């Protein structure tokens, strides 16, 4: 956590975060042009921000894209914001909100967290109902083989669709699957506006990918949810849900307990 505060103390690094908050998923060249800073200076500042886990990166062809990462701000909020009157930490809360409400580009959500666990245990948590039910409230019927159909269960709702499939499954390293179907039963189960859900259903089906990398006593988990059209309403919706799900996953693996569910 000390790394986070040191990273945020520098005004140039805060400018980089502001730039990514305004337009996420930028290349190094774009960030240099946006801020009128030397390439070497920007690279050094980005390295500090990435070391503090305030940004995360992913490759798109030959380019390296940079994204805001809400996980460290979530950790700060979990530690302090619930203990004190929110007005006393107003600036910190505003930063948390900024990172969580716009942690994405026009076509992807990217989130990185470090969990004190093993790749094997994390794989179990991503695939076995005994885990997913606890931190997510969802479970999946599938053999986790590429091409296999997934049946999605959540609350009193079940989704079964031939296009709802496992894309990649490399145990302890990488898992990817297409996102679930949106139907009238989904709107009813989650008490959502039926017209909004119908609009979600007309969007292209997205996919989520979990990349698992061992890092000493911890595991680096990067979640990439992409395949969206610019201005996607589904992207806006999942962007608000993933930080809570992943924070609860981390808490479960590290403490054996999940975060309290919010209504």
Q: Which of 147, 186, 180 is nearest to 161 (CA)?
A: 180
- pLDDT tens-place string over residues 51-64: 888 888 888 888 88
| 3-state helix vs strand vs coil in the chain, percent to 5 | 45, 25, 30
pTM: 0.69
Percent of the chain exceeding pLDDT 70 equals 86
DSSP 210-240: EEEEEETTEEEEEEEEE-PPTT-HHHHHHHH
For 178-231, what is each residue's pLDDT tens digit? 999 999 999 999 999 999 999 999 999 999 999 999 999 999 999 999 999 988
């Amino acid at each position: 956590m000390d790394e986070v505060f040191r990273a945020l103390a520098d005004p140039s690094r805060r400018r980089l975060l502001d730039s990514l908050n305004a337009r996420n998923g930028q290349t190094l060249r774009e960030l240099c042009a946006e801020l009128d800073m030397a390439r070497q200076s920007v690279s050094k500042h980005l390295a500090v921000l990435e070391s503090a886990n305030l940004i995360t990166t992913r490759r798109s062809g030959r380019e390296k894209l940079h994204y805001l990462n809400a996980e460290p701000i979530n950790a700060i909020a979990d530690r302090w914001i619930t203990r004190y009157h929110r007005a006393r930490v107003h600036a910190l809360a505003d930063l948390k909100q900024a990172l969580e409400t716009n942690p994405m580009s026009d076509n992807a959500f990217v989130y990185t967290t470090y969990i004190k666990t093993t790749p094997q245990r994390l794989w179990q948590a991503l695939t076995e109902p005994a885990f997913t039910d606890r931190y997510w409230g969802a479970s999946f019927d599938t053999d986790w083989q590429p091409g296999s159909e997934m049946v999605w269960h959540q609350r009193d709702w079940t989704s079964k669709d031939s296009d709802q499939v496992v894309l990649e499954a490399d145990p302890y390293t990488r898992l990817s699957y297409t996102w679930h179907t949106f139907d009238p039963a989904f709107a009813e189960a989650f008490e959502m506006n039926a017209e909004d859900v119908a609009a979600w259903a007309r969007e292209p089906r997205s996919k989520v990918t979990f990349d698992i990398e061992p890092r000493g006593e911890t595991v680096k988990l990067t979640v990439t949810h992409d395949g969206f059209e610019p201005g996607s309403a589904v992207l806006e919706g999942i962007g608000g849900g993933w930080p809570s799900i992943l924070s609860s996953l981390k808490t479960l693996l590290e403490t054996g307990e999940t975060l309290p569910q919010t209504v």
